[in-house]
């Protein structure tokens, strides 16, 4: 078939890994199912709230916006986490576990405990 000639084949997709609850990751906006997510279409910061134990389960995350007026848990700038501007942890969504790959979900570090507890309290 013509397309088989045009397009090389590859092996299996990049393997997924399990994130740590309470850690911040920068994820590709496509993982969240909506184009244009994020301030500039770039990676979206999320903090992991829960990880399903099921093989085909989902990862629950809270997303962060740099809009100061969004409802949620306020969070100051945290450059060490790749968050140079103050923002708000504002919404909870889930991501398919199979999409959590090193390419599309980059680890940044643990969220400050006091902020994480507040996020958990608000959203879980």
Partner 1 sequence: MTPAAAPAPREELLATQRIGRSGAALLYRLVRIVAIARNFPPPPGFDRWDDSAVTETAHDFLDGERGTRRVIEIAIRSADEQGFERVLEQAVVNHLRDTSRRTDMGRLVRRVTEVLTDEPAFSRIEGAMARWALKDGPVIPSHVPETTLIAALAPVEVSVPEWSSERRSAPLADRDSFTRMLAAILAAAAGSLTAADIARVVATRLDHRRTPLSIELDVLETAMEHSPRLDPAVQASSSVRAAEILRSLSESERIMLARFDLPVRELGSVLGLRKSQAALLRQRLATRLHEELLDDEDPDDTIVELCRLCERWLADRTSALGMTLRHRDGGTAAPGRWEEGGR
For partner 1, the binding residues (CB under 8 A) are 1-4, 6-14, 28, 30-39, 41, 63, 65-67, 70-72, 88, 90-91, 93, 95-96, 98-99, 103-104
For partner 1, the closer CB: 45 or 115: 45
Distance, in Å, from the CA atom of 121 to the CA atom of 95, rounded to the nearest integer, reads 20
Q: Which residue's CB is nearer to partner 1, number 49 or number 95?
A: 95
Q: Which two tokens stand for residue 61?
A: 């995350």
Find the distance separating the first CA and the last CA of the chain, reported in whole Å: 51
Q: At residue 18, what are phi and psi to the nearest 5 degrees?
A: -95, 130
Query: Which residues are 27's β-sheet partners?
Result: 44, 105
**Residue 109 is inside which H or E element, if any?**
strand 105-110
In whole angstroms, the minimum distance from the beta carbon of 44 to partner 1 comes to: 9
Tokens 């085909």 map to which residue?
56
Residue number, 7 or 114, with CB nearest to partner 1: 7
Least distance to partner 1, CB of residue 109, Å? 22
Shortest distance, position 120 Cβ to partner 1, whole Å: 18
* Nearer Cβ to partner 1 (101/120): 101
DSSP letter (8 states) at residue 40: S
Residue 75: CB minimum distance to partner 1, A = 14
């Amino acid at each position: 078939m013509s397309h088989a000639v045009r397009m090389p084949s590859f092996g299996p997709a990049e393997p997924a890994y399990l994130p740590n609850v309470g850690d911040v990751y920068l994820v590709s906006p496509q993982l969240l199912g909506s184009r244009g997510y994020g301030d500039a279409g770039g990676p979206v910061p999320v903090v992991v709230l829960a990880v399903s134990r099921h093989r085909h389960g989902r990862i629950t995350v809270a997303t962060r916006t740099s809009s100061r007026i969004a409802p949620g848990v306020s969070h100051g700038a945290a450059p060490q986490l790749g968050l140079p501007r103050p923002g708000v942890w504002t919404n909870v969504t889930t991501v398919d576990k199979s999409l959590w790959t090193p390419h599309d979900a980059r680890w940044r570090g643990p969220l400050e405990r006091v902020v994480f507890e507040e996020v958990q309290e608000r959203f879980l």
